[in-house]
Amino acid sequence: MTESPARRLLLVHAHPDDESINNGATMARYAAEGARVTLVTCTLGERGEVIPPELRHLTGAALGEHRLAELTAAMGELGVEDFRLLGGPGRYGDSGMMGIADNDDPACFWQADVDEAAALLAEVILEVRPQVLVTYDENGGYGHPDHIQTHRVAMRAAELAAAQGWEIPKVYWNRVPRSVAEEAFARLAGELSGTPFSKAAAVDDVPGVVADDRVTAEIDGTAYAVAKAAAMRAHATQIDVAPPYFALSNELAQPLFTTEYYELVRGKAAAQRENDLFAGLVPGKEES
């Protein structure tokens, strides 16, 4: 049997593209450093709005299949080999934005039984035995039902796995320090005319923005900026990329962050902001 890498990182996301926007640089860095990086995506994003006119014929299952191909290409750009759909492709459908009729579809992720979905994720945790889990906060970063449900499922799965013998030492939520977001949007305001975009988003449009003192880790992914941009570009139905900016289907420009930020919510926090998600872990100790 092949020995498991000493460092193992699990990320749990709602739709294809979320991982590249939020954690692309982090994933590329740790993959390049030899860590096992595992991504679990909960839906195929079948209800996502398609940006390129030539692809707008894609809807429903056809869009889901296309987005899986985009995810595969994005993972190739980041050097991540282990990526999976929760329960297999199509197990849970995209729920659409909050407050629409699609939220009531019995097949959508928002309607899934949390314990049932968490049990599927716990199986992955027990197989991979990650020391670090990354997911969203209780609001899913910005209130999308699939993101909220992803948070619930990921946190519950960590509990279930712990009860079965593998307690994840460190759990982080995706964050952006408010000061960093404000500075980046100030730069964008001065550079907007030189981008393909006509309007800019606002700081509060960015998921996970919090007061600076809540951020406990920052991962410098500058060396992987090209890989992150390429991974985001692979999600062509959802993202229009023009580094150092990008836009979603709302056509509002926002910064493409290559330093990525996190809040430790389970585990021992360091006195100062960490620059490594595995900081403080003793190699081998987590194997017992």
15 is in an annotated binding site: yes
Q: Rounded to an integer, what distance in angstroms lies between the CA atom of residue 203 and that of residue 177?
A: 10
Closest to 45 in 3D by CA, of 11, 18, 84, 10: 18
Closest to 224 in 3D by CA, of 83, 79, 71, 84: 79
Closest to 3 in 3D by CA, of 288, 198, 287, 218: 287
Q: Do residues 113 and 127 touch, judged by C-beta distance below 8 A?
A: no
Q: Rounded to an integer, what distance in angstroms lies between the CA atom of residue 127 and that of residue 142?
A: 30
Q: Rounded to an integer, what distance in angstroms lies between the CA atom of residue 235 and that of residue 34?
A: 25
Which tokens go with 219? 């991962």
Strand partners, 207: none
Q: Rounded to an integer, what distance in angstroms lies between the CA atom of residue 37 and that of residue 281?
A: 17
Q: Rounded to an integer, what distance in angstroms lies between the CA atom of residue 93 and that of residue 65?
A: 12
Residue ranges with strand state E in 116-210: 132-135, 170-177, 199-200, 209-210
* Binding site residue list for Zn(2+): 15, 18, 147
Tell me the binding residues. 15, 18, 147
